[in-house]
Each structure stands twice: as C-alpha cells, then as structure tokens.
Amino acid sequence: MAKAKELVNLMKSSPDSTSYLRLVDYCNTRIVEIQGLLVKETDMDEVKRLQGRATELFELLSGLVRKPVTNQYTGSFD
C-alpha cells in the first residue's frame, strides 16, 4: 500500500506530463464503461465484481486529481 501511495504522489507531482493526463482519462473512461455494464448486468456476483472495479478506479482517480489552488485555505486573511 505504501508503494502504491508513493507512486500516486509521484504522478501528482508532474500533472502536465502526458502519461498523467492519459491515466486520468483512462480512469474516467473505464468508470463510464463499467457504469454502462452495471445497468445491463443481472447476475449479482458480476454486479459486485463490477462495483469493486469501479470503486478501485474511483479511489485511484480521486487520489490523482489535485484540488484547485483557489479551494485550498492557508489560514491567512483572504
């Protein structure tokens, strides 16, 4: 887990690189594809498996995306 967190932090440190942008785009695309599959699926075991995949991708994506600087508060006067 620590290795994975370290890799995510390394990817966040250079958000202008094409590999970072491709990874974010890949995660978004896969989440949309999995959501489409969830709508059509009737087998509950398959639904649980797809939900697990979507959750894992969503957590990866939320870990990669930086918060905008304007939303970060330093405690100083605005």
**pLDDT given at position 60:** 85
**pLDDT given at position 27:** 84
* Distance from C-alpha of 11 to C-alpha of 53, rounded to nearest angstrom: 21
**pLDDT given at position 30:** 87
* Distance from C-alpha of 5 to C-alpha of 60, rounded to nearest angstrom: 10
pLDDT tens digits, residue range 4-22?
677 777 766 665 667 777 7
pLDDT tens digits, residue range 45-77?
999 999 999 999 888 888 777 665 565 566 666
DSSP 69: G
**pLDDT given at position 48:** 94
- Gyration radius of the chain's alpha carbons: 16
* Distance from C-alpha of 2 to C-alpha of 9, rounded to nearest angstrom: 11
pLDDT tens digits, residue range 32-52?
889 999 999 999 999 999 999
Residues 46, 50, 56, 60, Cα dihedral to 10°: 160
